[in-house]
Amino acid sequence: QDWSGSLIVASFAGAFGSSFLYGYNLSVVNAPTVYIKKFYNGSWEGRYGHVIDGGNLTLLWSVTVSIFSIGGLVGTILTTPIVKIFGRKYTLLINNVFAVVAALLMAFGQLAGSFEMLVLGRTVMGIHAGVSLSTLPIYLSEISPKEIRGSLGQITAIFICIGVFIGQILGLPEIFGNESLWPYLFGVIVVPSLVQAGILPFLPESPHYLLLEKQDRNGAEKAFQTFLGKEDVSREVEEVLAESQAQKSVKLVSVLQLLRNRSVRWQIITVIVTMACYQLCGLNAIWYYTNSIFSEAGISHTLIPYVTLSTGLIEILASVSSGLAIERLGRRPLLIGGFGLMVIFFVILTVSLTLQNHAYWLPYLSIFCILATIASFCIGPGGIPFVLTGEFFQQSQKPAAFMIAGTVNWLSNFSVGLLFPFIQNGLKTFCFLVFAVICLAGATYLFLVLPETKNKTINEISQAFAKRTLEGREMSQFSSETKSSEEQEHNFPSTVDNGEIKNRII
């Protein structure tokens, strides 16, 4: 096979210091919630002479959780110029500075009596996540042979799940999930960063970057030889050069130009809807606030940390299963089926939470529904939205498309982290019906609009979407002609021409 141990080491080291930390920071704030809020109260009282009121404490904690997403949006925007200047490998290495700074801020916030350090640390950690989740897939795709590119790409998603799981393990009361040791939960962030910083310098840069950006053919050949484990890499070099020549004749499309392009309107809408539902479907609310959700379900506080472990394990298993099934079953059934199952389990969860005092077994039904919701998310909605974004658009349109998708992704993530505590306080056990409605709306839209993209070229996918645009124009034409006939029948003058009507409808 045309790959070597260096390729595997680069993949694991890159993912461990990047996507692993993203998953870890999704779950790490869950276990020490009570102790961090107590720290906020104590530092506030020491500073102002009185404890913070409940509403402001909830807001401050929500900002602490959700500011991670704002940092992620900033990191996503910064990635393009950084990657172009420093390359893929060195961007990942430089990005470790953000992780170390964030770890120090969050670990020493309690010692300094400053809750602002924790909020700032979460922001900086978000920047690290935004850069790493944008850079790592590029690096992995450019160092791997095309025969295993899809499988290697799954490492990013799997390490996110592993990061979530490890965050839950370290959050156990016997380890760091207690009042005296919770700052260590944030301090251990430096470990994956140091591991990555110690390994990546001994591995080559992306051969694509060396060949196309640095015009270093000799360096690119050596990089290919290292990653592919063979001496003759002339075919790979020529493929990269041919791809570069093909792309030079195509001008990259800006975000504004893409949004104005009517031929990809349905693709853009589908990406926005899918990405918004990906974050707003409620799964991140479960990750951020698992302990409080289980507490509402009547689970004993001593058992909650151990029950929480099952959620991370379920996500890992479901993600691996999805990676194995996506090419067999297709994108459309997994995505629609995943959202549909989430609707069912959210409804059952609402009923079980509402009636939990009426039967001893209802809290266990709530746990099952949460685990089933996580599994339903991971089999489809968890990874497919990113796959679809890459399949919908031509090469010249992909950077703008991923910028739109990333912006919707991080802003939606921020909204969930900020608003869920207030939704939970206001709606109590009915809060998950909000997410059920969002999942139902997403599944309905995708059922009506989304074509199957498995084993289809970009042209075939574009033609499937173009049929919807054509149908919209025909309906618009029919509507304008009908209105014109009615106006003539009643001797009313038409004040709007058909072209304007079509533009408004389309």
Tens digits of residue pLDDT in 52-80 = 888 888 889 888 988 998 999 999 888 87
Other beta carbons within 10 angstroms of residue 159's beta carbon come to 27
Q: Does the structure show a pLDDT above 70 at 189?
A: yes
What is the average per-residue pLDDT within 35-45? 92
If asked whether residues 450 and 473 sit together in one domain, one would say no
CA distance 467 to 471: 6
Final residue belonging to a domain, choices 218, 249, 280: 249
Identify which of 196, 200, 217 has the alpha carbon closest to the alpha carbon of residue 208: 217
Kindly report the CATH number assigned to the domain that includes residue 351.
Answer: 1.20.1250.20
- For 381, the 3-state DSSP assignment is coil
Q: Does the structure show a pLDDT above 60 at 486?
A: no
What is the per-residue pLDDT for 250?
56
* DSSP codes, 210-273: HHHTS--HHHHHHHHHHHHT-S--HHHHHHHHHHHHHHHTSPPPPHHHHHH-GGGHHHHHHHHH
Identify which of 421, 416, 409, 378 has the alpha carbon closest to the alpha carbon of residue 291: 421
Determine which helix (DSSP H) or strand (DSSP E) holds 49, and give its type and residue range.
none
Please answer whether residues 132 and 88 qualify as being in contact, where contact means their C-beta atoms are separated by less than 8 angstroms.
no
Q: Does the structure show a pLDDT above 90 at 27?
A: no
CA distance 237 to 254: 29
If asked whether residues 117 and 236 sit together in one domain, one would say no
Other beta carbons within 10 angstroms of residue 202's beta carbon come to 10
If asked whether residues 7 and 81 sit together in one domain, one would say yes
Please answer whether residues 98 and 185 qualify as being in contact, where contact means their C-beta atoms are separated by less than 8 angstroms.
no
If asked whether residues 271 and 301 sit together in one domain, one would say yes
If asked whether residues 234 and 363 sit together in one domain, one would say no
Q: Does the structure show a pLDDT above 80 at 188?
A: yes
If asked whether residues 198 and 210 sit together in one domain, one would say no
Buried b (16+ CB within 10 A) or exposed e, 22-55: bbbbbbbbbbbbebbbebbbebbeeeeeeebeee
The total number of structural domains in the chain stands at 4
Name the residue with higher pLDDT: 345 or 149.
Answer: 345
CA angle 24, 25, 29 (to 5 degrees): 110
Please answer whether residues 477 and 504 qualify as being in contact, where contact means their C-beta atoms are separated by less than 8 angstroms.
no
CA distance 397 to 250: 10
What is the average per-residue pLDDT within 355-369? 83
What is the average per-residue pLDDT within 457-472? 70
Find the range with the poorest average confidence among 82-86, 97-101, 427-431, 501-505.
501-505
**Half-sphere exposure in the Cβ direction for 411 (13 Å, CA):** 11
If asked whether residues 140 and 54 sit together in one domain, one would say yes
CA distance 135 to 360: 49
Confidence band (pLDDT; 50, 70, 90) for 316? confident
Q: Does the structure show a pLDDT above 70 at 294?
A: yes
| The pair of three-digit structure tokens given for residue 229, joined into one six-digit string | 């484990």
If asked whether residues 196 and 104 sit together in one domain, one would say yes
pLDDT digits (tens, 9 = 90+) for 300-312: 777 777 877 887 8
Residue 411 CB burial class (10 angstroms; 0-12, 13-18, ≥19): middle
Q: How far, in Å, are 15, 332, 454 from residue 447 at the CA level?
A: 34, 8, 16
Determine which helix (DSSP H) or strand (DSSP E) holds 229, and give its type and residue range.
none
* DSSP codes, 326-367: HHHH-HHHHHHHHHHHHHHHHHHHHHHHHTGGG-TTHHHHHH
Dmax (CA) of the chain = 83
Other beta carbons within 10 angstroms of residue 390's beta carbon come to 16
CA distance 392 to 385: 11
Give the length of the chain. Answer: 506
DSSP annotation of 38: H
Residue 326 CB burial class (10 angstroms; 0-12, 13-18, ≥19): buried
CA distance 77 to 104: 24
CA angle 356, 361, 367 (to 5 degrees): 75
**Dihedral angle computed from the Cα positions of residues 228, 234, 237 and 239, in that order, rounded to the nearest 10 degrees:** -100
What is the percent of the chain where pLDDT is above 70? Answer: 84
pLDDT digits (tens, 9 = 90+) for 232-257: 888 888 887 876 665 555 566 778 88
| The pair of three-digit structure tokens given for residue 121, joined into one six-digit string | 């640390």
Residue 194 CB burial class (10 angstroms; 0-12, 13-18, ≥19): middle
If asked whether residues 231 and 331 sit together in one domain, one would say no
| The pair of three-digit structure tokens given for residue 355, joined into one six-digit string | 């009636």
Identify which of 269, 212, 246, 184 has the alpha carbon closest to the alpha carbon of residue 396: 246
Determine which helix (DSSP H) or strand (DSSP E) holds 396, and give its type and residue range.
none
Determine which helix (DSSP H) or strand (DSSP E) holds 147, and give its type and residue range.
none
Backbone angles phi, psi at 381, to 5 degrees: -60, -20
Q: How far, in Å, are 50, 303, 390, 407 from residue 397 at the CA level?
A: 55, 49, 10, 16
CA distance 114 to 132: 28
If asked whether residues 212 and 328 sit together in one domain, one would say no
CA distance 53 to 57: 6
Confidence band (pLDDT; 50, 70, 90) for 297? low
Buried b (16+ CB within 10 A) or exposed e, 262-295: eebbbbbebbebbbbbbbbbbbbbbbbbbbbbbe
If asked whether residues 267 and 197 sit together in one domain, one would say no
Q: Residue 59 sits in which domain range?
A: 1-203
What is the per-residue pLDDT for 244?
66
If asked whether residues 244 and 281 sit together in one domain, one would say no
Other beta carbons within 10 angstroms of residue 506's beta carbon come to 12
CA angle 284, 287, 293 (to 5 degrees): 110
Determine which helix (DSSP H) or strand (DSSP E) holds 113, and give its type and residue range.
none
Report CA 108 to chain centroid distance, whole Å.
28
